Amino acid sequence: MSISTSTTPAGSRRAWRSGVRWAPYVFLAPFVTLFLVFLVAPIVTALYTSFFSVERSGLGFGNANESVFVGFDNYVRAFSHTGFITSFGRVLLFGIVQVPVMLTLAIALALLFDSATVRWKRFFQLSVFIPYAVPAVVATLLWGFLYQPRVSPIVELLQSIGVSVDFLAPGTVLWAIANVSIWSVTGVNMIIIFAALQTVQRDVYEAARIDGASELRMALQIKLPMVLPAVFLTTLFSIIGTLQLFNEPMTLRSVTSNVTGDYTPNMAVFSATTLGGNLNLGSAMAIILGLVTFALSIIVSVASNRRKGAAA
Amino acid sequence: MGLNLKSRLGTALVLSAGSALFLAACGSDNSGDDDSGTAADEGPVTIEFWGWVPGLEEAVEQWNDENPNIQVDFFRMTGDDGDKIPAAIDAGTAPDVVQMSVHSLPGHIVNNRLSDLTEVAGHLEDHFTPSAWGSVVFDGTLYAIPQDSGPTGLMYRKDIFDEHGIDVPTTWDEFIEAGRELKDADPDITIAQFSPNEIGFWVQSVWQNGGSWNGIEGDAWTVNVADPESLEVAEVWQTLLDEDLVTTVEMWTPEYWAEINAGTIATVNYAAWFPVLLEDSAESTAGNWAVAPSPTFEGSDAAGDTGGSVNVIPTGTEHVEQAAAFVEWLNTSEDGLEHLINGGIFPSAVAGLEHENLLTEEEFFGGQVINEVFAEAALTVPATWVDGPTYDLIQDAFRDEFAQVANGRKTFAEALEDLHARTVADLTDMGLSVHE
């Protein structure tokens, strides 16, 4: 990508000027290319694929394997797929509990680290953040080990004080997964909110302190309202993350069958395509999941904008 | 969760659409092997071979030395390499010979991915055990050459049985009875485990009982998951579960191996490929195990099988005959079988069952020649098992249903009823005909 090869001063100046027009595109090109190839193209292909179906008959042997246009058949099939629909309910329940708990923790920690009273701030911040650096699969394997009754020190400890729990029972396994994801992502959300807190002018605190506000009151009535945009941002990401839940339940499935093959929407898509070999149905499911995610994101954004507008 | 929204969003879409992209880009012009060469005398050709048996490198090296005109290029499959195969075949870039699980065959056949080998390899029937051959022929057409199989045997803790003076069971009724005796003698020990996540235990028993999950009748598939052969297996397992004679633990987990090492599970009735894994993960129990023939169902001395792997030649391969020649050598010749056996697999070829390298004394099993038991079993496995095009889905559905059985929400028989309905629906969804 040579922008200027001319050697004369006048020429280089002209090239420099035209370079101004080209430079943004040159710099954008790698991103745009990758974006088109790995995000837009797959979405378009999935959309296209979702309207077709492979025509077969009899035993299915020796067929030409032709794809025929079937309109919304695959969508109808996806909506009548009980496991797929149930999985949405499951992740929503998961989100309703996991997101508030995780955000409350993240906000509390961020406020704590921002207050003047905490020592070894860097060390504790890093400790809270480190789980985020552990890949979800590894984190789940690790927690999976702690969940298994006969090898878990936690279960053993609880049993020694007379509490008998089964973290992997049908009713509790969802919360076992929530625990893993809270452990993983609280740190990063804490960092985002903490970063937002740093942008608040220090004299505001000064004034509050002079007025006799306690640290707690400052945290709840000054700091929290000022970082609300960051809180909305993290809420948005968390909700999207919840709908896309895949790695944790998929990995936990290796230690318990109480996580079914279509436990989350993404797992249902995986099952339809990889196990069932039905790319068309899987595409339709993926599009539906994408649309639901999109709709929820918009709702959260609108709510957050309205809140911001009201505050202004 | 959290910030990686792009990658999450990507996962779902790439999963479903990524391979579609390849399909679309590469078209569907792999019209089969019509133009393939007619003989090995058309000059040197190179065959690409994907497989995972340890030591295949040496086998290929020997073949290449002896066959200058058919050179084989070997690629060792690891991890998820098998998942690349369907897209590669559809794109016309697949290897010429691929090792795969016997259970995946029909799923590939209905997608036109496997060459018809009836003409080039049909004459090999007598080289293999009836059950192994039976599982690679569909509707009269041969689609693969058997490589290894998983005939079953009863691995049991000889020390525990001896200590409590319990006889090694030879039938399933005796097995249940032995389970009761063991429970009475030592409540901490169960005779076996129930693992919802390891469907092979179920497959082998249904197969042993002369049943199957699917079948072919004329121009339609049959669904047999809830047939009498399966219900009989259900009865055995329901009794074991109801009387607490088995412990419920997921297979392959740290928890499972902890139990095995602690000696709280007294038998593992499983395939010929299992002993080596047992030895690896339960070193502390060395010398305590022995192998007996699997308990049998009434009126039969048949053993079960979990199925094994096969070699296929994908459609679109140019050199079907040369590829078949290599596959034949690898899986039926004295030299080929020796390489396979040394690699640690249990061969499907009858000649392999008598191979001296297979019949060796195993220190872990107190010096017993355990493969004598498995080799004898291999010849008694019924040739009844037919895999269906939705095998992977059924297997996954079985797991989900069996989890409910383990939780006491369903009985085995109820689970089988639901599985029958699910399997019929899955096949119908694919546009296939189903005899109900």
**Domains of chain A by range and CATH?**
22-69 (no CATH), 81-311 (1.10.3720.10)
Asked, for residue B36, whether it belongs to a domain, the answer is no
Residues B74, B126, single domain; the answer is yes
What is the per-residue pLDDT across A42-87, written as a single tens digit (0 to 9) for each? 999 999 999 999 888 889 887 667 789 999 999 999 999 999 999 9
Q: Is A82 exposed, middle or buried (0-12, 13-18, 19+ CB in 10 A)?
A: exposed
The pLDDT score that the predictor gives to residue A19 is: 53
Task: Pick the residue of B1, B21, B399, B422 with the most A CBs within 10 A to test the interface with A by mutation.
Answer: B1
How much of chain B, in percent, has pLDDT values that exceed 70? 90
Asked, for residue B8, whether it belongs to a domain, the answer is no
CA distances from B353 to A311, B48, B360 (A): 81, 28, 12
The pLDDT score that the predictor gives to residue A54 is: 87
Q: Mean pLDDT lowest for which of A18-27, A67-76, B64-73?
A: A18-27
* Closest-CA residue to A41 (of B91, B24, B89, B3): B24
Task: Using the predicted structure, report yes or no on whether residue B18 has a pLDDT greater than 60.
Answer: no
Q: Do B9 and A245 make contact, defined as CB atoms within 8 angstroms?
A: no
Asked, for residue B26, whether it belongs to a domain, the answer is no
Residue B57: partners with Cβ closer than 8 Å, 6 or more residues away: B74, B76
The pLDDT score that the predictor gives to residue A18 is: 54
Q: Do A256 and B250 make contact, defined as CB atoms within 8 angstroms?
A: yes
Task: Using the predicted structure, report yes or no on whether residue B16 has a pLDDT greater than 60.
Answer: no
Chain B residues within an 8 Å CB radius of A61: 109-110, 138-139, 141
Q: Do A45 and B390 make contact, defined as CB atoms within 8 angstroms?
A: no
Residues B268, B183, single domain; the answer is yes
What is the per-residue pLDDT across A245-275, written as a single tens digit (0 to 9) for each? 999 999 999 899 999 999 999 999 999 998 8
The pLDDT score that the predictor gives to residue B205 is: 97
Asked, for residue B193, whether it belongs to a domain, the answer is yes
Q: Which of A238, A258, A265 faces B1 most closely, judged by CB atoms? A: A238
Residues B140, B195, single domain; the answer is no
What is the per-residue pLDDT across A188-216, written as a single tens digit (0 to 9) for each? 999 999 999 998 888 888 898 899 888 88
Residues B207, B85, single domain; the answer is no
Chain A residues within an 8 Å CB radius of B141: 61
Q: Which residue has the higher pLDDT, B246 or A65?
A: B246
- Is A273 an interface residue toward B (CB < 8 Å)? yes
Q: Which of A54, A59, A150 faces B259 most closely, judged by CB atoms? A: A150
Q: Do B83 and A274 make contact, defined as CB atoms within 8 angstroms?
A: yes
Q: Do B17 and A55 make contact, defined as CB atoms within 8 angstroms?
A: no
- Is A125 an interface residue toward B (CB < 8 Å)? no
Average pLDDT over residues B244-264: 95
What total number of domains does chain B contain? 2
Task: Using the predicted structure, report yes or no on whether residue B311 has a pLDDT greater than 80.
Answer: yes
Residue of A nearest to B431 (CA): A56
Residue B420 and residue B436 in contact, taking contact as beta carbons nearer than 8 Å: no
pTM for the complete prediction?
Answer: 0.85
CA distance B246 to chain A (A): 16
- Is A277 an interface residue toward B (CB < 8 Å)? yes
pLDDT bracket for residue B82 (50, 70, 90) = confident
The pLDDT score that the predictor gives to residue B10 is: 37
The pLDDT score that the predictor gives to residue B270 is: 97
Residues of chain A numbered 82-121 and touching chain B (CB < 8 Å)? none
Q: Do B2 and A241 make contact, defined as CB atoms within 8 angstroms?
A: yes
The pLDDT score that the predictor gives to residue A274 is: 87
Residue of A nearest to B216 (CA): A59
Q: Which of B1, B249, B396 faces A241 most closely, judged by CB atoms? A: B1
B264's tokens:
């709280």
Chain B residues within an 8 Å CB radius of A63: 110, 112
The amino acid that residue B15 corresponds to is L
Residues B236, B335, single domain; the answer is no
Residues B282, B335, single domain; the answer is no
Residues B134, B282, single domain; the answer is no
ipTM here: 0.81
pLDDT bracket for residue B30 (50, 70, 90) = very low
Asked, for residue B322, whether it belongs to a domain, the answer is yes
How much of chain B, in percent, has pLDDT values that exceed 90? 85
Residue B100 and residue B312 in contact, taking contact as beta carbons nearer than 8 Å: yes
Q: Do B390 and A276 make contact, defined as CB atoms within 8 angstroms?
A: yes
Q: Which of B5, B17, B258 faces A49 most closely, judged by CB atoms? A: B17
Q: Do B16 and A261 make contact, defined as CB atoms within 8 angstroms?
A: no
> Three-state SS across A98-137?
HHHHHHHHHHHHHHHHHCCCCCCHHHHHHHHHHHHHCCHH
Q: Choose the final residue of a domain: B287, B321, B344.
A: B344
Average pLDDT over residues B363-373: 96
CA distance B395 to chain A (A): 9
How much of chain A, in percent, has pLDDT values that exceed 90? 56
Q: Which residue has the higher pLDDT, A65 or B93?
A: B93
Task: Pick the residue of B8, B15, B16 with the most A CBs within 10 A to test the interface with A by mutation.
Answer: B16
What is the per-residue pLDDT across B178-230, written as a single tens digit (0 to 9) for each? 999 999 999 999 999 999 999 999 999 999 999 999 999 999 999 999 999 99
Strands B45-51 and B97-101 turn out to be parallel
Task: Pick the residue of A45, A269, A280 with the most B CBs within 10 A to test the interface with B by mutation.
Answer: A45
- Distance CA(B207)–CA(B195), nearest Å, equals 18
The pLDDT score that the predictor gives to residue B188 is: 95
What is the per-residue pLDDT across A218-253, written as a single tens digit (0 to 9) for each? 888 888 998 988 998 899 889 889 999 999 999 999
pLDDT bracket for residue A308 (50, 70, 90) = low
Residue B13 and residue A282 in contact, taking contact as beta carbons nearer than 8 Å: no
Q: Which of A61, A151, A281 faces B255 most closely, judged by CB atoms? A: A151
Q: Mean pLDDT lowest for which of A118-127, B65-74, B88-97?
A: A118-127
Q: Do B253 and A57 make contact, defined as CB atoms within 8 angstroms?
A: no
Q: What CATH number corresponds to the domain at position B61?
A: 3.40.190.10
* Closest-CA residue to A255 (of A200, A311, A182, A173): A173
Q: Do A39 and B21 make contact, defined as CB atoms within 8 angstroms?
A: no
* Closest-CA residue to B390 (of A226, A68, A156, A277): A277
- Distance CA(B212)–CA(B220), nearest Å, equals 15
> Which range marks the domain in which residue B128 is found?
45-148+309-344
Chain A residues within an 8 Å CB radius of B12: 244, 246, 265-266, 269, 286, 289-290
Q: A216: helix, coil or strand?
A: helix
Alpha helices in B164-285 (DSSP H): 172-185, 200-208, 228-242, 254-262, 275-281
Average pLDDT over residues B364-379: 96
The pLDDT score that the predictor gives to residue A310 is: 59
* Torsion sign (Cα): B157, B162, B163, B167: positive
Asked, for residue B436, whether it belongs to a domain, the answer is no
Residues B266, B404, single domain; the answer is yes
Residue B344: partners with Cβ closer than 8 Å, 6 or more residues away: B53, B54, B55, B276
Chain A residues within an 8 Å CB radius of B221: 59
Q: Do B20 and A43 make contact, defined as CB atoms within 8 angstroms?
A: no
Q: Do A45 and B406 make contact, defined as CB atoms within 8 angstroms?
A: no
Chain A residues within an 8 Å CB radius of B188: none
Q: Do A244 and B9 make contact, defined as CB atoms within 8 angstroms?
A: yes
Chain A residues within an 8 Å CB radius of B138: 59, 61
Chain B residues within an 8 Å CB radius of A295: none
Torsion of CA A311, B1, B3, B8, to 10 degrees: -120
* Closest-CA residue to A105 (of A202, A18, A179, A31): A179
pLDDT bracket for residue A311 (50, 70, 90) = low
What is the per-residue pLDDT across B122-154, written as a single tens digit (0 to 9) for each? 999 999 999 999 999 999 999 999 999 999 999
Kind plus residue range of the DSSP H or E element containing B71: strand B70-76
Strands B45-51 and B70-76 turn out to be parallel
Residues B180, B296, single domain; the answer is yes
The pLDDT score that the predictor gives to residue A14 is: 54
Q: Do A56 and B393 make contact, defined as CB atoms within 8 angstroms?
A: no
Q: How many CB pairs under 8 A join A and B?
A: 198
What's chain B's average pLDDT?
90
CA distance B68 to chain A (A): 35
Residue B105: partners with Cβ closer than 8 Å, 6 or more residues away: B114, B135, B136, B138, B143, B144, B310, B312, B387
- Distance CA(B248)–CA(A99), nearest Å, equals 33
Q: Do B432 and A57 make contact, defined as CB atoms within 8 angstroms?
A: yes
What is the per-residue pLDDT across B283-310, written as a single tens digit (0 to 9) for each? 999 999 999 999 999 999 999 999 999 9
A129's tokens:
């953040």
Residues B173, B201, single domain; the answer is yes
Asked, for residue B287, whether it belongs to a domain, the answer is yes
How much of chain A, in percent, has pLDDT values that exceed 70? 91
The pLDDT score that the predictor gives to residue B24 is: 37
The pLDDT score that the predictor gives to residue B144 is: 97
Residue B263: other Cβ atoms inside 10 A: 17
Task: Pick the residue of A275, A278, A292 with the most B CBs within 10 A to test the interface with B by mutation.
Answer: A275
Residue of B nearest to A238 (CA): B2
- Distance CA(B344)–CA(A249), nearest Å, equals 34
Chain B residues within an 8 Å CB radius of A257: 196-197, 250, 399-400, 402-403, 406
Q: Choose the final residue of a domain: B319, B344, B369.
A: B344
CA distances from B64 to B50, B55, B114, B194, B338 (A): 15, 15, 25, 46, 16
CA distance A132 to chain B (A): 9
Q: Do B407 and A258 make contact, defined as CB atoms within 8 angstroms?
A: yes
Residue A195: other Cβ atoms inside 10 A: 12
Task: Using the predicted structure, report yes or no on whether residue B165 has a pLDDT greater than 70.
Answer: yes
Strands B97-101 and B309-312 turn out to be antiparallel
Residues B247, B212, single domain; the answer is yes
Asked, for residue B127, whether it belongs to a domain, the answer is yes
Chain A residues within an 8 Å CB radius of B92: none
- Distance CA(B403)–CA(A170), nearest Å, equals 9
Residues B270, B402, single domain; the answer is yes
B406's tokens:
């383990």
